[in-house]
Each structure stands twice: as structure tokens, then as C-alpha cells.
């Protein structure tokens, strides 16, 4: 199961109720978590969300615009305050590494732990992070190179075929335990092979988190296997038409139409322009999504939490 905490849902600038982009994603089997984007102020949001920088294993930066990365160096510096030695993987445009290196030099910053920088262009091949978690980047279309990230958790569950053992009359004692551990056993002068009695199920959860993007259809192929798309929806279509194509963002309609065409089960929209953050603005976005998409969708607010399970069921977690 994957667990999501939105740390910032405003586009461009922070507002009184929403910070700029940041999303924490945790594999629910342990405390390890990944951060996608780190707008200014993200480390304060991390504290408020009761996440620990100690358990942060990777940061993915979708693109170099400040509302997605200006918080990165500060939070990496804070992560080093308690003598951390475990590395952090950074998957980002290579300019982010240059910026980080210039800042460390100019501000006398010395991290006590290593950073493992991966150029996002190389992460278009799948990158295993841990035994269960992996990440893959997908190019998008924006004013600067921008990427989406597939976050995939996959693990194998092994279950003993107890029905078959009961039918054969194998007593439920040490024999069952041995088979469960992969040991062959002797029963009534026969060898029972553990491999014949262990059923393996592969549990897989796949979510895609987009960066800024004006062509959702670029994610058509990667979304085929995804249970959830998290995508920017900066404006309604009417406002996008007024603003024009220059900023290279998506409207709610564009994302909703794409999700409908793909048959995507779940959609979460984020990165709202300040003009769409009051209740009328949110309602306008929601109505537009509803008009073009029949699946399960949410408009994210800061500190909203969601879980996504192996069956593709997305739930909003009640914080009360
Ligand atoms: Zn942005
Ligand atoms: Zn941008």
C-alpha cells in the first residue's frame, strides 16, 4: 500500500492556506518515505505533518521552477543536523545538482551524509530504491524540462496452500511450518515439495505523480498500468483560455478528459492557481472534472492524506 501526504498544493506562490508543491509518499510497510518536489517552506510542512527527515530516503524534483525546488537545500541541511549518515537519493534535473553544489560552497554547508544524485534523464529507466520501492521518470511538456514520476511498490506474498495439505491429511504441526519455510518434507513415504504447496502472489501498487505539464496525453503509455494519477490542474479551461498557452499548464478539463480516455480509476488534482483556491474556485474546478471524468477524484488540500492499495482502491484518510 502507498500512503500520500500533500505538503503543498498551490501553484507559483504560497498562499495563507496552501504552500507550494511538495508530496510525501510512504510505503506503508515501513517508515521510509519519498518526497516529490520541495517548494520553499516544505520542511516546515514536513514537521507539521509529523514526518521525520530521518526516514526520508529519496527526493524527486520534477523541474527547476522555484515553487518546486526552493525548499530542497534547506531541508537537506536540516536532515544533517542530527548527524545523519544514511544517504539520500536525489532524482532531479542536473541543474539542481549544480545549484546545490554552488550553495554548499557559498554558504559553508557540510552534510554529514552522502547524496546520491541521479540525472532525471537517466531515471527514464526504472530505478530500484529499496527491495520494494522503485521510481521511473517520464518526460512532460512545460517551459523548462519537466517530468512525472512513477512510484511503484512491489512485493511477493507467499501463502501456504492449506486446503491441499488438509486434503492430503498432513497434520497441522511442524510439517506445515517446514513447508512454509521452503523445506521439503517426508509424509507417508512421499516427499512433499515445498514449491508445490506455496502460492506466490505479487502485490503491486503504481501511482504517477506529474510535474507541471500542458500535455497530459504524454503519460498515456505509463498510465496504462497505473492505479492513480496525481496531476496539476492550475486553472479551469475558461481561465486557461484567458491566460493563454504561455505558462504551459493544464486545465481541469484537459486532465479530466485524459483520465477518462485512459480509463484511469483514480485522479487527484493539485497545483491550483491562487485564483482557484477559495470555495467558488475549487467548486469550479470540481464541476469541470466531474463533467469530463467519471472515475474517483479528489482536489488535494495541504495535509490531505490518501492511501492506495494493491486493488487500486484510493481512500482519503480521515484525520480526526
Ligand atoms: Zn509549478
Ligand atoms: Zn513550472
SS (H, E, C) 151-206: EEEEEEEEEECHHHHHHHCCCCCHHHHHHHCCCCEEECCEEECHHHHEEEEEEEEE
Asked if residues 68 and 44 have their Cβ atoms less than 8 Å apart, the reply is no
Q: Same domain for 22 and 123? A: yes
Q: Same domain for 17 and 166? A: no
Cα distance between residue 178 and residue 157, in whole Å? 17
Q: Is 276 annotated as a binding residue?
A: no
Residue 161 annotated in active site: no
Number of C-alpha atoms within 13 angstroms, CB side, residue 194? 14
Q: Is 63 annotated as a binding residue?
A: yes
Ligand 1 center–CA 273 separation, angstroms: 9
Where b means 16+ CB within 10 Å and e means fewer, 80-94 reads beeebeeebbbbbbe
Q: Is 65 annotated as a binding residue?
A: yes
CA 239 to mean position of chain CA atoms: 28
- Mean pLDDT for all residues in the chain: 96
Tell me which of 32, 37, 67, 173 is the catalytic residue.
67
In the chain, how many domains are there? 2
Q: Which of 299, 312, 242, 307 is nearest to 271 (CA)?
A: 299
Ligand 2 center–CA 15 separation, angstroms: 17
Q: Is 271 annotated as a binding residue?
A: yes
Ligand 1 center–CA 212 separation, angstroms: 6
Read off the pLDDT band of 320 (50, 70, 90).
Answer: low
Considering every ligand atom shown, identify the ligand nearest to the alpha carbon of residue 214 and give its number: 2
CATH code of residue 228: 3.60.15.10
Q: Same domain for 63 and 115? A: yes
Q: Same domain for 133 and 170? A: no
Q: Same domain for 116 and 220? A: yes
Q: Same domain for 167 and 304? A: no
pLDDT 10s digits, 238-269: 999 999 999 999 999 999 999 999 999 999 99
Considering every ligand atom shown, identify the ligand nearest to the alpha carbon of residue 232 and give its number: 1
Ligand 1 center–CA 262 separation, angstroms: 24
Q: Same domain for 97 and 211? A: yes
Count Cβ atoms below 10 Å from residue 1 Cβ, excluding itself: 16
Q: Same domain for 246 and 126? A: yes
pLDDT at 109: 96
pLDDT at 82: 83
Q: Is 206 annotated as a binding residue?
A: no
Q: Same domain for 97 and 167? A: no
How confident is the model over 295-313, as a mean pLDDT? 97
Q: Same domain for 142 and 282? A: yes
Considering every ligand atom shown, identify the ligand nearest to the alpha carbon of residue 63 and give its number: 2
Q: Same domain for 86 and 141? A: yes
Read off the pLDDT band of 29 (50, 70, 90).
Answer: confident
Q: What is the pTM of this model?
A: 0.92
Ligand 2 center–CA 145 separation, angstroms: 9
Q: Same domain for 168 and 19? A: no
Q: Which domain holds residue 186?
A: 162-196
Q: Which of 257, 223, 226 is nearest to 240 (CA)?
A: 257
Cα distance between residue 135 and residue 125, in whole Å? 9
Asked if residues 271 and 142 have their Cβ atoms less than 8 Å apart, the reply is no
Amino acid at each position: 500500500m502507498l500512503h500520500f501526504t500533500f505538503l503543498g498544493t498551490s501553484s507559483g506562490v504560497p498562499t495563507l492556506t496552501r504552500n507550494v508543491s511538495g508530496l510525501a509518499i510512504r510505503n506503508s510497510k515501513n517508515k521510509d518515505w519519498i518526497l516529490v518536489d520541495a517548494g520553499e517552506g516544505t520542511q516546515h510542512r514536513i514537521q507539521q505533518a509529523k514526518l521525520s527527515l530521518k526516514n526520508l530516503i529519496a527526493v524527486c524534483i520534477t523541474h527547476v521552477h522555484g515553487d518546486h525546488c526552493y525548499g530542497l537545500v534547506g531541508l537537506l541541511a536540516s536532515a544533517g543536523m542530527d548527524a545523519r549518515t544514511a544517504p539520500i537519493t536525489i532524482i532531479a534535473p542536473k541543474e539542481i545538482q549544480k545549484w546545490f553544489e554552488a550553495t554548499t560552497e557559498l554558504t559553508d554547508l557540510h552534510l554529514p551524509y552522502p547524496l546520491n544524485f541521479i540525472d532525471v534523464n537517466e531515471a527514464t529507466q526504472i530505478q530500484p530504491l529499496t527491495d520494494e520501492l522503485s521510481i521511473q521518470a517520464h518526460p512532460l511538456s512545460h517551459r523548462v524540462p519537466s517530468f512525472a514520476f512513477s512510484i511503484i511498490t512491489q512485493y511477493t506474498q507467499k501463502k501456504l496452500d492449506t486446503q491441499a495439505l488438509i486434503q492430503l491429511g498432513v497434520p497441522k504441526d511442524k510439517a506445515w511450518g517446514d513447508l512454509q519455510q521452503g523445506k521439503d518434507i517426508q509424509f507417508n513415504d512421499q516427499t512433499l515439495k515445498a514449491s508445490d504447496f506455496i502460492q506466490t502472489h505479487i502485490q503491486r501498487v503504481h501511482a504517477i505523480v506529474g510535474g507541471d505539464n500542458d500535455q497530459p496525453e504524454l503519460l498515456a503509455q505509463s498510465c496504462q498500468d497505473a492505479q492513480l494519477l496525481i496531476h496539476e490542474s492550475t486553472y479551469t479551461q475558461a481561465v486557461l483560455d484567458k491566460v493563454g498557452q504561455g505558462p504551459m499548464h493544464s486545465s481541469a478539463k484537459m486532465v479530466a478528459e485524459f483520465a477518462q480516455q485512459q480509463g484511469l480509476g483514480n485522479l487527484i488534482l493539485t497545483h491550483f492557481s491562487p485564483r482557484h483556491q477559495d470555495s467558488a474556485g475549487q467548486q469550479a474546478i470540481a464541476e469541470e472534472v466531474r463533467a469530463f471524468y467519471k472515475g474517483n477524484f479528489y482536489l488535494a488540500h495541504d495535509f490531505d492524506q490518501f492511501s492506495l492499495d494493491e486493488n487500486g482502491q484510493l481512500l482519503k484518510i480521515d484525520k480526526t
